[in-house]
Amino acid sequence: MPVGQEKTIDVDKLLKNKLKSVSIGSLEDAISKVVSEMVGEDYKCTIGEVKYTLFSGADFHVKIELTYNPEQ
């Protein structure tokens, strides 16, 4: 970057937390799918206590459990 040209930070972009528009159910399904594919067993995911942070982030508790399916 040339001298005298500083990169500007888009504050509006930082303050608009797009994670708030993501469905918690969709996140649970996606995490369940990835874990199940990695392990080779059917797992379910539960997300709780979602707290959105000021700068486009989120803190939450993730619980992963083996799904019991007697047909397998």
Q: Does residue 53 sit within a domain?
A: yes
Question: How do the pLDDT tens digits run along the chain, 72 residues long?
Answer: 566 677 787 777 767 888 888 999 999 999 999 999 999 999 999 999 899 987 778 999 999 999 976 665
Cβ contact 47:22 at 8 Å: no
Residue 2 lies in a domain: no
Taking Cα atoms as reference points, which of 23, 17, 39, 43 lies closest to residue 31? 43
- Asked if residue 60 lies in contact with residue 51, where contact means CB atoms within 8 angstroms, the answer is yes
pLDDT at 72: 56
Q: Which domain holds residue 55?
A: 11-66
| Residue 17: DSSP 8-state | -
* Total-model pTM: 0.71
User: Residue 10: its pLDDT value, please?
Assistant: 77
Residue 12 bridge partners (DSSP): none
Provide the pLDDT for residue 54.
78
The H or E element containing residue 34 is helix 24-39
Instruction: Determine, yes or no, domain membership for 36.
Output: yes
Residue 1 falls inside a structural domain: no
Query: How many domains does one find in the chain?
Result: 1
